[in-house]
């Protein structure tokens, strides 16, 4: 493992030679857009809870209004932020590789849509989408208007989740909570993309949450080079060939530029 604070010659050569690139992204890539990462301390209504406490079916069953309002507030925050240079760099690299007959696939653990808003196509949302809703009982999908909070300050009062039009049970966000299975198709597409890649880039994830954190290990089967982009050491840094220690908003544009 080589720890670097800038893109060097070796990384440049790997990136230039790569025709099939697989990217796994996590909350860190959206941090510079102003989206809190998953393991940051919370404020307001939720300051007594960690995000991990709230992202469970048990929490939703125990206090549906609290959990529902947390997700609606996060939606409203996302509607007020923009993709950052890290998202844009991946989108541009994907476009250029495709024009040259290659492929860059993006699998994200993020429930936001910032990759798409930067112009990228996302192969897989491994943990679902915060903008999708469905019935917690019968799984019927539901469309909802945007939340009315201003997005910056958490609301003062929790609101109850709306009722399903089919069965009257509570709606829930279309995300994957702890203890729930990941969408099989998304998981398989990501596994295939990593197995077929000639370069794997892991960006902005702590590598703590399974099974997503183990997906990059599939690259080891064929000895595919692995690059991590993260200002901090992570649970999966050990298996990386290169660790670029810096924010993705700076590092990814430099990596993508070295592909030219």
Residues that bind Zn ion (CB under 5 A): 135, 137-138, 140, 164, 166-167, 169
* Contact characters 6-45, ligand BJW, x per CB under 6 A: --------------------xxxx-xx----xxx------
Of 228, 202, 30, nearest to 113 by C-alpha is 30
Judged by CB under 6 A, does residue 75 bind ligand BJW? Answer: no
Judged by CB under 6 A, does residue 109 bind ligand BJW? Answer: yes
Among 135, 243, 248, 255, binds ligand BJW (CB under 6 A): 248
Q: What share of the chain is helix, strand, coil (3-state, %, to 5)?
A: 35, 20, 45
138's contact among Zn ion, ligand BJW, none, with CB below 5 to 8 A by partner kind, is: Zn ion
Of 87, 125, 127, 133, catalytic: 127
What is the closest distance, in whole angstroms, from the C-beta atom of residue 68 to ligand BJW in the complex? 12
CB atoms < 10 A from the CB of 254, how many? Answer: 17
Judged by CB under 6 A, does residue 88 bind ligand BJW? Answer: no
Q: Which residues pair with 228 in a beta bridge?
A: 202, 243
d(Cα 35, Cα 195) in Å, to the nearest integer? Answer: 30
How many CA atoms lie less than 13 Å away from 197 in the CB half-sphere?
32
Is 87 marked active-site?
no
Q: How many degrees, rounded to 5, is the angle at CA 208 between CA 205 and CA 214?
A: 85
31's contact among ligand BJW, Zn ion, none, with CB below 5 to 8 A by partner kind, is: ligand BJW
Please tell me whether the peptide bond between 12 and the residue prior to it is cis, using omega within 30 degrees of 0. no
164's contact among ligand BJW, Zn ion, none, with CB below 5 to 8 A by partner kind, is: Zn ion
CB atoms < 10 A from the CB of 150, how many? Answer: 11
Judged by CB under 6 A, does residue 230 bind ligand BJW? Answer: yes
Q: Which is nearer to ligand BJW, 5 or 167 (by Cβ)?
A: 5
Q: Which residues pair with 178 in a beta bridge?
A: 56
Q: Which is nearer to Zn ion, 59 or 164 (by Cβ)?
A: 164
What is the closest distance, in whole angstroms, from the C-beta atom of residue 208 to ligand BJW in the complex? 5
d(Cα 158, Cα 29) in Å, to the nearest integer? Answer: 29
Judged by CB under 6 A, does residue 176 bind ligand BJW? Answer: yes
Q: Is 141 left (phi over 0), alpha (psi -120 to 50) or beta?
A: beta
Query: Which positions touch ligand BJW (CB under 6 A)?
Result: 26-29, 31-32, 37-39, 55, 109, 111, 127, 175-181, 204-206, 208-211, 229-232, 234, 247-249
């Amino acid at each position: 493992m080589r720890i670097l604070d800038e893109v060097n010659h070796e990384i440049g050569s790997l990136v230039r030679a790569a025709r099939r690139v697989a990217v796994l992204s996590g909350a860190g890539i959206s941090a510079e857009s102003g989206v809190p990462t998953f393991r940051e301390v919370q404020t307001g209504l939720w300051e007594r809870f960690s995000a991990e406490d709230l992202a469970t079916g048990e929490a939703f069953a125990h206090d549906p209004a609290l959990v529902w309002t947390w997700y609606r507030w996060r939606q409203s925050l996302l509607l007020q932020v923009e993709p950052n240079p890290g998202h844009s760099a991946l989108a541009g690299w994907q476009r250029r590789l495709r024009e040259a007959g290659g492929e860059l696939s993006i699998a994200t653990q993020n429930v936001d849509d910032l990759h798409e808003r930067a112009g990228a196509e996302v192969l897989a949302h491994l943990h679902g989408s915060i903008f999708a809703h469905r019935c917690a009982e019968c799984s019927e999908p539901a469309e909802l208007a945007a939340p009315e909070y201003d997005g910056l300050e958490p609301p003062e009062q929790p609101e109850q989740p709306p009722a399903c039009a089919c069965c009257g049970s509570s709606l829930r966000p279309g995300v994957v909570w702890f203890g729930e299975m990941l969408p099989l198709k998304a998981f398989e597409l990501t596994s295939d993309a990593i197995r077929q890649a000639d370069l794997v880039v892991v960006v902005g994830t702590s590598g703590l949450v399974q099974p997503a954190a183990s997906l990059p290990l599939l690259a080891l089967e064929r000895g595919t080079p692995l690059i991590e982009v993260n200002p901090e050491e992570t649970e999966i840094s050990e298996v990386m060939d290169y660790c670029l220690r810096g924010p993705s908003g700076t590092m990814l544009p430099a990596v993508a530029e070295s592909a030219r």
